[in-house]
Amino acid sequence: GAGVSQSPRYKVAKRGQDVALRCDPISGHVSLFWYQQALGQGPEFLTYFQNEAQLDKSGLPSDRFFAERPEGSVSTLKIQRTQQEDSAVYLCASSLKRRGETQYFGPGTRLLVL
């Protein structure tokens, strides 16, 4: 079956530009997670949705980062006024229910801010 998909796969933005990253989870998966992976590091948690409710946004690094999942399926991560330190791979994952279950990852969006 179809896995988690993310678009775009690559994004080059000029500093100060707004970007929107899309995640299509596996159909029927309740939970959706966003992670950020900087070069040479492991993925770091950004935010978590259960259906359309954003239950944890403790990992969002600043108020320039905003995520939504309005209908409980597709999610968008928006970064306003991008900075060079936002350059990273942004990974989306979904799981059937909640904690302890396997999270299925998309291929990520590689963002480069110049």
User: Which residues of this protein are in contact with other proteins, per CB under 8 A?
Assistant: 3-4, 31, 33, 35, 40-45, 48, 50, 55-56, 59, 91, 95, 98-108
In whole angstroms, the minimum distance from the beta carbon of 80 to other proteins comes to 23
Nearer to other proteins by Cβ, of 42 and 70: the residue is 42
Report d(CA 45, CA 30) in Å as an integer: 17
Residue 15 Cα distances to 10, 36, 61, 87, angstroms? 16, 18, 17, 10
Q: Which is nearer to other proteins, 13 or 30 (CB)?
A: 30
Q: Cis before residue 8, ω within 30 degrees of 0?
A: yes
Q: DSSP character for 95?
A: E
CB of 15 to other proteins, least distance (A): 26
CB of 48 to other proteins, least distance (A): 6
The Cα-based distances of 38 to 50, 76, 104, 109 in angstroms read 25, 19, 20, 12
By C-beta, is 93 or 113 nearer to other proteins? 93
**Of 14 and 99, CB closest to other proteins:** 99
Q: Check the CA dihedral 104-13-49-27 and report its sign.
A: negative
Least separation in angstroms between CB 99 and other proteins: 4
